[in-house]
Every structure is written in C-alpha cells, then in structure tokens.
C-alpha cells in the first residue's frame, strides 16, 4: 500500500509541473497589463514603472520567468502580489476559509447521497424513491449561482419576517467577534449553513443517482444471491456485501467531481460575500497578477491531484482487484 | 461448544450416518410458482411433485425456462416476493413454504446449501475466499473467527485446493474458474447440510474442468452424507452421477425414475426427443442427430392439455385436451406424464 502511494505521488509530480507551466504561460501571455494599476496613478514617472517592471521580471522572456518562479516555488516562496503583499500567507488564509466550506459540504453530501441513493435502490419505485429522484433532477439541473442566490434571498426573507437574525447571508464569519474559541466556531458554523446547503444539494443530486444505480446493479449480482443462500441476514447482505461493492464507482465520481465542487465553492463564496479562494481568484484576474493566479492554480491542482490519489487509495481499499502487487 | 466443528462431518463419521433412506430429506408436493408480469401471469412451475431421499443424487433435467431452477429456489426459500407459490415443500418433515424470513434464514446454507452456476460472479469480489466460507459458518454457528477460518481452510483442502492455508487469504479474482467452483462447493458443505443443490455447477467451466468438479462434488457429498439435487441440461452429467432423474418441460414434471430406466426406456416423448438429439460415441457417424421440432411454449399462455403436444410426433386428439398425470408406468417407480406412455415400449426395441 505504501509503495502504491509513493508510486502514485511520483506519477503526480510531472502532472503538477506540466499544469503549472501551462498556466504560467497562459497567464503571462494573456495580454493583461500587471502594471495597469500603477500607470493609472498620477505622478508616477516612466522610470518608476520601468523599475517595477524589472522588479517583477516582466522584461524577461516567459521561459526564464517561469524558471525563476518555479525555483522559488520549490522552496515555498510564492513571490509577492503586484501590490507587494506576500502571496503565501494570503493564500493560506483564503484557502482555510474555502476548505472549511468545501470539506464540510462534501462530507455531508457524501453521507446523504449514499444513504438516499441506497434507500432508493432497496426500495425501488417506492414513494421515497420517486421523491428522491424528483428532487435529484431538480437540483441537478440548477445552476450553482442561482440556487445560492435563492437560498440567500430565502434566508433574508425569513430573517425579516420573524425579525431575528437566524441565517447569516454575508461573509464567512462576523468580523471582530470576541467571546473565546467556542463562540467563534459557533459563529463560523452559522455562516457555513446556507453556502453549504447550496453545495450539498447540488453535489448530492448527482451522487445519489450514481449510488442508486450502482446499488441496483450490485443487488442483482450473483454474489448477493450467494450471500442470501448462505443464510446471511438481509441487513448484513445490504451493509456488508452490497454497500461496499456499490461504493466503488461512487468513490471515483466524488473524487472526479472535486474540481467541480471547488468551482461551485468559488461561485457560492461570491454570492455570499466570503473572502475565500473565490475572491482571491477574481481579484487576481482583474489585476493580471501572475503570482496570485499561479499560486491559486497550483493549490487547486495539488488539491485535485490529492483527491484523486485519495480516491485511488480508497478504491484499492474497497476493491482488492485494483490493488497492485 | 469447542468440540470443534472442524472435524465434524469432514471425516467419514462412523455411527452417526443420518437416517439414510428412512424418511425423504425433501418432499415437494404440487408445487406451483408463478410471477405477475405486465403481460400477464408467467407460470414458471406447475403442479410439480417429487422427493429426494437421504444421500441420493437426483438429477433435474430440462431446457432453459423449464422451471428447474425456480423449483429449487423455492426449496431454498429464495424466490422473490413477486412470486406466487402454492403447494408444499417439506424439508425433513418441516414445511418451508410460508416460513417467516427469520426461520428461512436458519434453514438456508445450514440444512440446504446451494452451488451456483457461474463461479466467476457468485463469489463476492471484495472479500477473501476464506472470509466468505468462514462467514457461512459463523452465520449458523457460534464459533470464533479463528475457528471458522480454520474450518474454512480444512474445507478448502477437502475440495482439493493446494496450499489452502495461504489461498484462503486470497480474493476470488486470484482463483481460476475451476478453483472458484471448488471454493463454492467448500462453502456449500461448511455447515454439513442434508441437501446440496447444484444448479448447473459445470456449465460455466471448461470441459476439462467439468469432470474434476463433479468428482469434487461427489467427494463433498461423501464427506457430509448429504443428498444432492443436480440441476443440469447435460444428460451426460446426469448419467454419470445421478441415481434418479426428473425431466421437466415448460414448468411441469414429465418423467421421473431411476437414471437407467429413464435413459434406456424413456416413457415420455420429450425425454425420448432429448436422448435422440444427443450424439453417440458408438455411432458410426452415418446417422444424423434428430432435433425436437418446434420451440418451447410460452409460459404466459401454455398450450392446453399436455404442454408438449404441439411438438410431439405421437400427438393424438386427447393430448390437446386433458392434462396427463405423472403416473406410474412400467416397473420400479418410473413415472411419466404421457397418456400413451406404454406405447413407447415399441420405440425401445427400435432404438436397440
């Protein structure tokens, strides 16, 4: 298992290098002017602008710039933003906010999807199954930004109607809130609710369908009949023999969908006014800030790769046929 | 309790040979099974009766859709809820039909065990072979994981798996088809069942492996002193292994008797047709095989009277009107569901 993990990690390295290179070249040659902000300010001389261009290495060829960036990045130095701020601490702060949303929503969505999908398969064509199917299709076909906007609006209406502040609709936490650790966490959880529900409903919609299909297939498998012929109880057949097999394809789907969730989180954050990775990307793009965008995409790439790796490991754990050696 | 199950039943136990022959292990009476479908009611099994004695091998022969598997699923209590079942299935005197699921579970895999057709898909891919056999034991006996595993290894040795201690920890995909079927047989005898149902156990395997598997099945039977119901469409397998044979056609039992009687002196035109459609080794290659003309009837709208009459070369007016009973013909317990069974005697002479 360790050898497998190391091999998978080793294979991922060229992927990270290639993706960072492609992204760097795309951003650096995309035509935005990183100095636009500076140029617009009054009283800045040509000399200052030229100096800044040198500082940011904008006068060098793209390949050389990538080389500089990569050398620094390996040592953990992600450079400075156009405004002069260190990128790394900025990134860590923003990533923390976004991961809170993504991880929380993903865990809950997976649990609900597995439960609802399996129930739908076991009780196929029941009222429960039809209801779950209906809502799955509703949320599956809804754009993230729209669902987020609706939930935000509903939250505001409820708050106004009962004249109490139940749903937080702006930001990831109340700024400057004191009252100790627990108080802060409770406040964060409160802010988490509506954005999470957005992501949960949308990802759960497709995952529960996959789980249902996969479970239906497994329940008709010969080895389920064998288990029943052994005298194993219906519950044990379901949880031990069927569920484990049915989870195998779903694990892959969830891992592949991780990029989509990250994208969904960026949009959801924007709707709910979070200062997370979403805002960072939008601001970075507006300013043509190569270092910020580069760092952002690097993190996204690493996250996607690690989720795929995690999926492979889980896959190997669930399905002995995919284990090598 | 630690008077280990491991040894029990694996050694040719002297003295405790289960009441051989006194009372049949299995008695099926007037069993009918039908399924509601959008097109109407499919009558998969109609009015089938037979019994299986202790340590006897009964072959059930018939083409696909003749109801042989459905009959045995009823005996296992494994029919889907959509099935309508009437009649009686008694196992060692106890009625199985209508038992609550909890009681059925104690019966399945314990008193009656089953070996399925396709060993490639009948084992769970995510659990080790040993684990799956041990589970079968632990479902019915209060033994530790370790004891169950030890017995699983002994069983794997019995069915001829070399290096069983190590191979028990391997997964189904690491076993060949023949090995998997051996493992299935080991699993089926893990609780010393009184009856072993083998549903086409060799159909999915290479011809070279088939004989080995049948041998393993016989060895397994000898170890646990069980009766066997061997479902197959391979008449050669039945001839080689079974004591008696039940021939089924379109959900009905059409002929029942000792293998030698039925194969040498068939008393039902369908059985005769089956035998004539077989190539024979002593044939000089000049004679052509004789197929049964026509195709099996629809189970939604089975023909009136004898179900075989539309394809029967001896058909007479009565055949399309009156359902023939499975009645004694000739001597020694041979039974046939043909109005004119006795007339087939003339054919015996012709067949030489």
**pLDDT digit string (tens) for A198-217?**
999 999 999 999 999 999 99
Give mean pLDDT, residues B65-90.
91
Reported confidence tier of residue A315, pLDDT bands at 50, 70, 90: confident
User: Can you tell me the distance from the alpha carbon of B25 to that of B5, in angstroms, rounded to the nearest whole number?
Assistant: 22
B143 pLDDT higher than 50: yes
| Interchain proximity B124–A318, CB inside 8 Å | no
Give pLDDT, residue B81. Answer: 84
pLDDT at B4 over 60: no
* Range B293-319 average pLDDT: 90
Q: What's residue A324's pLDDT?
A: 63
Burial class (CB in 10 A: 0-12, 13-18, 19+), A75: exposed
Q: Which residue of B has its CA nearest to A245?
A: B126
Helix, strand, or coil (residue B338): coil
Residues of B in contact with A245 (CB under 8 A): 124-126
Chain mean pLDDT for chain A: 87
Domains defined for chain A, CATH in brackets: 2-322 (1.10.3720.10)
Residue B328: pLDDT over 70? yes
More confident residue, A37 or B246: B246
Question: What does DSSP assign to residue B11?
Answer: S
pLDDT number for residue A245: 94
Task: Supply the DSSP symbol for A80.
Answer: B
pLDDT one-digit tens code per residue, A245-297: 999 999 889 988 888 888 888 889 989 999 999 889 888 888 778 788 888 88
Find out if CATH 2.60.120.330 is the number for domain B26-242: no
State ipTM: 0.85
Closest C-alpha to B185, from B154, B217, B219, B144:
B217
Average pLDDT over residues A134-154: 93
Tell me the C-alpha distance between A102 and A109, whole Å: 10
Confidence band, pLDDT 50/70/90 cuts, at residue B59:
very high
Nearest to A223 among B124, B136, B140 (CB): B124
Cβ–Cβ pairs < 8 A, chains A and B: 67
Please report the sign of the dihedral spanned by the C-alpha atoms of residue A292, residue A293, residue A294, residue A295: positive
Note the pTM of the prediction, 2 decimals: 0.81
Assess whether pLDDT exceeds 70 at residue A111. yes
Q: What is the pLDDT of residues B115-134, one digit of tens each?
A: 998 888 999 999 999 999 99
Residues in A touching B103 (Cβ below 8 Å): none
Q: First vs last Cα of chain B: how many Å apart?
A: 59
Q: What is the pLDDT of residues B161-205, one digit of tens each?
A: 999 999 999 999 999 999 999 999 999 999 999 999 999 998 888
**Quick check: B108 and A318 CB within 8 A?**
no
Question: Residue B16 above 50 pLDDT?
Answer: no
Tell whether the model's pLDDT for residue B7 goes beyond 80.
Answer: no
Which residues in chain B are classed under CATH 3.40.50.300? 26-242
Which tokens go with B46?
């109609």
* CB within 8 Å: B126 and A232: no
pLDDT tens for A15-25 read: 888 888 888 88
Q: Quick check: A68 contacting B, CB < 8 Å?
A: no
Letter string b/e over residues B280-310, b meaning 16 or more CB atoms within 10 A of that residue's CB: eeeeeeeeeeeebeeebbebeebeebbbbbe
Non-local CB neighbours of A33 within 8 Å, separated by 6+ positions: A39, A288
For chain B, the average pLDDT equals 88
């Amino acid at each position: 298992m360790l050898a497998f993990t190391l091999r998978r990690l080793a294979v991922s390295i060229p992927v990270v290098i290639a993706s960072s290179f492609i992204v760097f070249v795309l951003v650096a040659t995309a035509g935005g002017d990183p100095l636009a902000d500076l140029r617009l300010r009054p009283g800045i001389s040509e000399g200052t602008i030229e100096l800044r261009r040198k500082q940011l290495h904008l006068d060098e060829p793209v390949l050389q710039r990538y080389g500089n960036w990569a050398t620094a990045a390996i040592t953990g130095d992600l450079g400075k933003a156009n405004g002069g701020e260190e990128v790394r601490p900025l990134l860590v702060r923003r990533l923390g906010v976004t991961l809170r949303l993504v991880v929380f929503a993903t865990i809950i969505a997976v649990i609900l999807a597995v439960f609802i999908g399996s129930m739908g398969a076991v009780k196929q064509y029941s009222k429960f199954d039809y209801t779950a199917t209906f809502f799955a299709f509703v949320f599956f076909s809804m754009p993230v930004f729209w669902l987020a906007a609706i939930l935000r609006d509903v939250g505001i209406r409820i708050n106004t109607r009962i004249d109490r502040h139940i749903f937080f609709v702006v930001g990831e936490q109340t700024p400057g809130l004191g009252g100790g650790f627990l108080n802060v966490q409770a406040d964060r959880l409160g802010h988490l609710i509506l954005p999470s529900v957005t992501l949960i409903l949308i990802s759960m919609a497709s995952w529960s369908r996959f789980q249902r299909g996969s479970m239906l297939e497994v329940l008709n498998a010969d080895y389920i009949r064998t288990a029943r012929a052994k005298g194993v109880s219906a519950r044990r057949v379901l949880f031990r023999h069927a569920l484990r097999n049915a989870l195998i394809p779903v694990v892959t789907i969830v891992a592949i969908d991780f990029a989509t969730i990250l994208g969904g989180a960026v949009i959801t954050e924007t709707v709910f006014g979070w200062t997370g990775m979403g805002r960072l990307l939008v601001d970075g793009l507006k300013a043509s800030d190569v270092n910020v965008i580069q760092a952002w995409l690097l993190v996204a790439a690493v996250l996607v790769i690690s989720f795929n790796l995690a999926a492979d490991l889980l896959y190997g754990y669930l399905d002995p046929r995919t284990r090598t050696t | 309790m630690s008077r280990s199950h491991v040894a029990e039943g694996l050694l040719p136990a002297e003295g405790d040979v289960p009441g051989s022959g006194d009372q049949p292990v299995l008695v099926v009476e007037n069993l009918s099974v039908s399924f509601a479908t959008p097109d109407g009611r499919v009558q998969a099994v109609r009015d089938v009766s037979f019994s299986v004695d202790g340590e006897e091998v009964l072959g059930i022969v018939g083409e696909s859709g003749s109801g042989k598997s459905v009959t045995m699923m009823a005996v296992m209590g494994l029919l889907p809820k959509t099935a309508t079942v009437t009649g009686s299935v008694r196992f060692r005197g106890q009625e199985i039909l209508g038992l609550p699921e909890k009681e059925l579970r104690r019966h399945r895999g314990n008193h009656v065990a089953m070996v399925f057709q396709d060993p490639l898909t009948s084992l769970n891919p995510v659990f080790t072979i040993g684990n799956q056999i041990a589970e079968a034991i632990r479902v019915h006996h209060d033994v530790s994981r370790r004891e169950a595993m030890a017995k699983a290894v002994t069983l794997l040795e019995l069915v001829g798996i070399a290096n069983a201690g190590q191979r028990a920890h391997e997964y189904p995909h690491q076993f060949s088809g023949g090995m998997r079927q051996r493992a299935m047989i080991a699993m089926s005898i893990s609780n010393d069942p009184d009856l072993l149902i083998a549903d086409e156990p060799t159909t999915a395997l290479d011809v070279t492996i088939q004989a080995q598997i049948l041998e393993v099945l016989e060895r397994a039977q000898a170890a646990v002193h069980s009766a066997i119901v061997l479902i197959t469409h391979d008449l050669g397998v039945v001839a080689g292994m079974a004591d008696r044979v039940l021939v089924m056609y379109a959900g009905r039992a059409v002929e029942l008797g000792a293998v030698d009687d039925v194969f040498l002196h068939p008393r039902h035109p369908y059985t005769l047709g089956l035998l004539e459609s077989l190539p024979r080794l002593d044939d000089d290659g000049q004679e052509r095989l004789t197929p049964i003309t026509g195709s099996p009837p629809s189970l939604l709208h089975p023909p009136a009277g004898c179900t075989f009459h539309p394809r029967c070369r001896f058909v007479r007016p009565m055949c399309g009107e009156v359902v023939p009973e499975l009645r004694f013909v000739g001597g020694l317990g041979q039974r046939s569901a043909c109005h004119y069974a006795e007339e087939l005697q003339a054919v015996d002479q012709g067949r030489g």
